[in-house]
Every structure is written in C-alpha cells, then in structure tokens.
C-alpha cells in the first residue's frame, strides 16, 4: 500500500474522523456535490449516508462558493478557525461576515431580509446561527438572500440595524449585550 492509502485506511469512520476527512478533501480538491464528497470519502474507506454528510457539512460550517471557473464548490467558511464557538468569537465572526458580505437589508414585520453577493448567503447565515442571538428564531439562506425570523417586529428592526452597523464597520462594546437581552 502507498503512504496515502495507509493513512486513509486508518481514518476512522467516526464523526470526528469524517469531519477531518471532509476538511482534508475540501481543502485539496473541488467538490461540487454531496455525491462527489461521498465518493471521495469512500475512496478513503469511509462510508456515510447522504443525511450524515448533510449534517457533517453543517457542523464543520462548509458552504458552497464559486471557484475561479464559476462552479459552485464546497469550502470551509474559515479553515483556520477551530470548531469551538464561544459567544465572543461567534459575535466577532458575525461582525466580520456582515462587514464582508452584507450588501443590503430590510425588515418586514418580524423578518429581516438580507442580501449578499451571489453564493455568499450561507456564510452570513451560518454566522447568524452561531451567534445564537436570543431575538433570532432562525434563518434560511438561498444563493444571495437570507430570511431571518425574529421574535418581534421591534427585535427584527434592532437586529437589522445591528447588522447594518456591522456592515459599516461599527463595533461598539454594547453589541455583545444584544445577544443577551431581547429588545434592548
């Protein structure tokens, strides 16, 4: 067996092993679908169901981006970041992604509608989800649009204003308090 085959044969099919294998695959080859990812894992001796791969991709914060040829491929949101998200780190990530990706925002009742460049909505939505803001009930991301459901019309307006401030590069000490108190 070659050196790579020996290493691949020793990759456990546990959750941690799959996560590490997926991260390695995404860092070394363009993967455009879960079918391609499943095949690459099988080549490493790891068998996983499609539902398991979907969960794994979410857990490691993989998302689709456009490569230089315009294809949508899976990539890690921030390969250098560990998977441990504390509240401060998550808030900082949200600030950075809002500043980098948010191109427009509006509210309608208790919804916040966010616009991003094509292919970037999942990155910002992931940061919103990991920030665990108590006023956010959940988010749904498309290619360039995110719908965020908030607990009330007022909290939707406040959350929209917060994200717009982040997009403009405004970071205040009070921003962390937004994740702790609803409506303040």
* pLDDT at position 171: 62
pLDDT tier for residue 49 given thresholds of 50, 70 and 90: confident
CB 167 within 8 Å of CB 154: no
Spatial separation of the C-alpha atoms in residues 37 and 102, rounded to whole Å: 29
**Angle (nearest 5°) at CA 82 between 77 and 88:** 90
* pLDDT at position 78: 58
pLDDT digits (tens, 9 = 90+) for 96-155: 889 888 999 999 999 999 999 888 888 888 889 888 889 999 999 998 999 999 999 999
Q: What tokens were used for 58?
A: 């979410």
pLDDT tier for residue 57 given thresholds of 50, 70 and 90: confident
* pLDDT at position 97: 84
Q: What percent of the chain has pLDDT over 90?
A: 32
Q: What is the mean pLDDT of residues 31-36?
A: 92
What is the SS3 assignment for 110?
A: coil
pTM (2 decimals)? 0.51
CB count in 10 Å sphere of residue 6? 9
């Amino acid at each position: 067996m070659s050196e790579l085959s020996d290493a691949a044969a020793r990759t456990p099919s546990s959750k941690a092993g799959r996560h590490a294998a997926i991260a390695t695959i995404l860092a070394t080859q363009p993967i455009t679908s879960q079918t391609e990812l499943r095949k690459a894992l099988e080549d490493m001796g790891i068998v996983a169901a499609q539902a398991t791969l979907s969960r794994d991709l979410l857990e490691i914060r993989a998302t689709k981006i456009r490569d230089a040829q315009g294809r949508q491929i899976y990539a890690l949101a921030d390969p250098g970041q560990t998977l441990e998200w504390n509240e401060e780190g998550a808030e900082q990530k949200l600030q950075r992604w809002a500043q980098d990706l948010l191109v427009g925002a509006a509210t309608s009742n208790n919804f916040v509608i966010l616009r991003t460049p094509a292919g970037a909505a999942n990155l910002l939505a992931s940061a919103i989800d990991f920030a665990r803001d108590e006023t956010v009930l959940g988010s749904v991301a498309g290619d360039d649009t995110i719908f965020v459901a908030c607990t009330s019309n007022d909290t939707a307006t406040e959350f929209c204003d917060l994200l717009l401030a982040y997009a403009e590069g405004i970071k205040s000490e009070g921003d962390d308090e937004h994740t702790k108190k609803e409506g303040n």
